[in-house]
Amino acid sequence: MGIRLNEFKLDDLKSNGLKIYEAIFSKKRNVKIDEIEYPVQKFSSGIKFVDFSGYRFIQQNHNKKSEWGKKARQGHQIMWILKGRRYLARIMDGEFTDLKKDKE
């Protein structure tokens, strides 16, 4: 039963993440989840993010000198899902990747 709960949470994270990803990259000002609208916010750097249910969904900064910054400069659309300082998942070009699963 515990496994199902975790799978449900992952499915939830994925479906909500994809909604937020779509809002960020289609330049929407809000995203509606469960009948509640959450604002797409921007840091002073211009990087977009949404805070939802204790998670932060954040666009990849294309100015970073990392591999991911390079990919963003090349035109890839990348968003990270964090809880606190932990990176839980990545959505790149509409493809969801569970980062916790990759590490196990």
Helix (H, G, I), strand (E, B) or coil at 34: coil
Nearest to 50 by CA among 32, 62, 38: 38
Residues 6+ apart with CB under 8 A from 14: 89, 96, 98
pLDDT of residue 100: 82
Confidence band, pLDDT 50/70/90 cuts, at residue 47 = very high
Q: Which of residues 7 and 5 earns the better pLDDT score?
A: 7
For the entire predicted model, the pTM comes to 0.87
Model confidence at 48: pLDDT above 70: yes
pLDDT on residue 101: 67
In sequence order, which residues have a C-beta less than 8 Å from that of residue 23 and are 6 or more positions away? 30, 31, 40, 50
Give residue-wise pLDDT tens across range 55-66: 999 999 999 999
